[in-house]
């Protein structure tokens, strides 16, 4: 990684070595070594590792070759739909939408390009063609634009909430209603750089949900997002006391995660519905539940059945 990047808002005011550690996903001592060797500097001022990052700062990365990273490629990521304008992938867990500082795993964009899929050059550098994203720990459908026409139109459809995004999720506890809407603004958590939270200062966020199945200790739901804030589903359900199963960042019970065998949050982008950018035909693309999530569902069903059988004993 080379070049200058502006100071990340979430890290302003922190020590320079802490900033580099968080940005690159390396230890603080390794970050200090990069600063001391001049491979990472603050543009226009002394690059002391104890210097506090200012909002106006730019960070210059000039890393030696041994620090460069070759991104692994996911050759098995399914392409669910593809034409000259768009491609919809079924993103596996553990794959990021695009490259970012500190991420060393495969990405949707990098894997598509490496597999010969032509992507539009429209979009920010390193994020070409991407009009919506999924978390690394969330699997499911993600649309990437191949043509300039598609990028402009799909970006508009996503920003104006015309795309119907349907997720399946499993949340802890027994939801009282069979369907409801969570409407609460979401912003960055002041306590942690990488968490989000419900806050009056946040951006509008609206989540609709319907119960699909009840297990007593957990509830299987269908979720439709009216907005697309970072971690929206995870934050909203946590805010009403029902964090996603397998999501310790937002309050999940680690014991239930262990019981279900989950190593990530139970959340999958199941369906995308949109108007095709060129033909204007209403298009629906659907996914299937991944094996790890399906096995967790079966475990919850079995536990629910056992409890009901026990309760019915004379």
pLDDT tens per residue across span 39-78: 899 998 888 899 999 998 989 888 764 444 578 999 999 9
Contacts of 305 (CB under 8 A, 6+ apart): none
pLDDT tens per residue across span 24-34: 878 788 888 88
Catalytic, 135? Answer: yes
| Angle formed at CA 236 by CA 230 and CA 242, multiple of 5 degrees | 130
Q: What domains are defined for the chain?
A: 2-63 (3.10.290.10), 72-160 (3.30.2350.10), 161-314 (3.30.2350.10)
Question: What is the mean pLDDT of the segment spanning 107-132?
Answer: 93
The owner of tokens 């009009």 is 131
pLDDT tens per residue across span 282-294: 999 999 999 999 9
Pairing label, strands 218-225, 267-275: unpaired
What is the SS3 assignment for 152? helix
- DSSP letters, 160-205, are TT-SEEEEEEEEES--SSSEEEEE--EEE-SS-TT-EEE-TTSB--
Instruction: Give the active site residue among 60, 83, 90, 135.
Output: 135
Q: What is the pTM of this model?
A: 0.76
How far apart CA 116 and CA 96 sit, in angstroms, is 18
């Amino acid at each position: 990684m080379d070049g200058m990047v502006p100071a990340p808002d979430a890290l302003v005011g922190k020590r320079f070595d802490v900033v580099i550690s968080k940005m690159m996903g390396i230890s603080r001592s390794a970050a200090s070594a990069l600063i001391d060797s001049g491979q990472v500097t603050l543009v226009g001022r002394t690059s002391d590792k104890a210097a506090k990052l200012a909002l106006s700062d730019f960070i210059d990365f000039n890393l030696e070759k041994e620090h460069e990273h070759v991104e692994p490629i996911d050759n098995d990521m399914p392409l669910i739909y593809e034409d000259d304008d768009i491609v919809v992938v079924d993103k596996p867990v553990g794959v990021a939408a695009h490259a970012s500082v500190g991420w060393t795993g495969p990405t949707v964009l990098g894997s598509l390009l490496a597999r010969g899929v032509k992507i539009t050059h429209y979009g920010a550098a390193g994020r070409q063609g991407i009009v919506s994203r999924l978390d690394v720990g969330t699997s499911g459908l993600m649309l990437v634009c191949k043509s300039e026409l598609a990028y402009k139109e799909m970006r508009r459809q996503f920003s104006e909430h015309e795309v119907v995004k349907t997720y399946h999720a499993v949340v802890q506890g027994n939801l009282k209603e069979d369907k409801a809407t969570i409407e609460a603004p979401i912003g960055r958590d002041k306590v942690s750089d990488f968490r989000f939270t419900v806050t009056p200062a946040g951006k509008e966020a609206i989540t609709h949900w319907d119960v699909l199945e009840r297990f007593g200790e957990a509830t299987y739901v269908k979720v439709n997002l009216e907005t697309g804030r970072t971690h929206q589903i995870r934050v909203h359900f946590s805010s009403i006391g029902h964090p996603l199963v397998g999501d310790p960042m937002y309050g999940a019970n680690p014991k239930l995660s262990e019981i279900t065998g989950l190593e990530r949050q139970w959340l999958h982008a199941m369906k995308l519905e949109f108007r095709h950018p060129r033909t204007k035909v209403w298009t629906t693309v659907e996914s299937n539940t991944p094996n790890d999530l399906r096995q967790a569902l079966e475990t919850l069903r079995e536990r629910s059945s056992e409890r009901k059988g026990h309760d019915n004993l004379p």
